[in-house]
Amino acid sequence: MSETSLSGENKYKREFAMEQQTVELILSGVITFATVAYTIINLMQLVESKATRKQKLAPMIVAYLQSTASKNVLCLYIKNVGEGCARNVKVNVLQDYNCLGKIDWPLSRFPLFSDGVYIFPAGYHLHYYLDYWNAIRANGMEGSIELEISCEDINGKKQSKSTYYLKFNQIQSNYSTPPDTIQEQIPFYLKAIHEDLKVKNES
């Protein structure tokens, strides 16, 4: 074979080897990238799964104001809106209120506020009658209460304390029409029927 032919064959072999190395490097890079991406996705799923499990165990005790179905009385609601059961729920009254205008019946005397509750399931709530709206208006809508709520999850892990400052004048007109629950809808519609009959009788 001539030197020219051997030189061309060697050149072809070198080019083929370089192309093969390039392909191997590309494939290696793709595999490495896929491995890293797969690892990151698995880690994200693990974190998300852990957060979901934590959320399933986490209680969330909140306090809010709501009127009765007749809209005559203002109530305080303490509710577990979290997905987990709460333990050792304590509600400390920072600013008290005499319920229904009775001096010897402050909010702090109720068992929840004086002794706490050992078990508070998810979705469970307690409510307390605070005062008649007529009495609240007569006092210039100045009423308010302040509460500090603490609790543990079902495993005994302490949850962050929450403070609620609830002013009566912020809830006066905040209610749905008709009410959300069947128990509240019955007196609502009975009152509406009574008013319709009254109008028809007067006409």
What does the pLDDT look like over 135-172, one tens digit per residue?
Answer: 888 888 788 999 999 999 988 889 889 999 999 888 76
Backbone angles phi, psi at 12, to 5 degrees: -65, -40
In a domain, 202, yes or no: no
Same domain membership, residue 178 and residue 86: yes
Report pTM. 0.62
Q: Are strands 117-120 and 125-132 parallel, antiparallel or unpaired?
A: unpaired
- Express each pLDDT in 67-122 by its tens digit: 887 778 899 999 999 888 999 999 999 999 999 888 888 999 999 998 999 999 99
Same domain membership, residue 145 and residue 129: yes
> Do 64 and 79 touch, CB atoms closer than 8 A?
yes
Same domain membership, residue 122 and residue 72: yes
Between the two ends of the chain, the Cα-to-Cα distance in Å is 123
Same domain membership, residue 187 and residue 134: yes
Domain that holds residue 125: 61-194
Strands (E), the chain: 61-67, 73-80, 86-95, 117-120, 125-132, 144-152, 162-167
Same domain membership, residue 88 and residue 39: no
In a domain, 23, yes or no: yes
Same domain membership, residue 158 and residue 89: yes
Same domain membership, residue 173 and residue 189: yes
Q: Are strands 117-120 and 86-95 parallel, antiparallel or unpaired?
A: antiparallel
Output helix, strand, coil percentages for the chain, rounded to the nearest 5.
Answer: 45, 25, 25
Same domain membership, residue 66 and residue 160: yes
CATH of the domain at 165: 2.60.40
Same domain membership, residue 28 and residue 75: no
For the chain, the domain total comes to 2
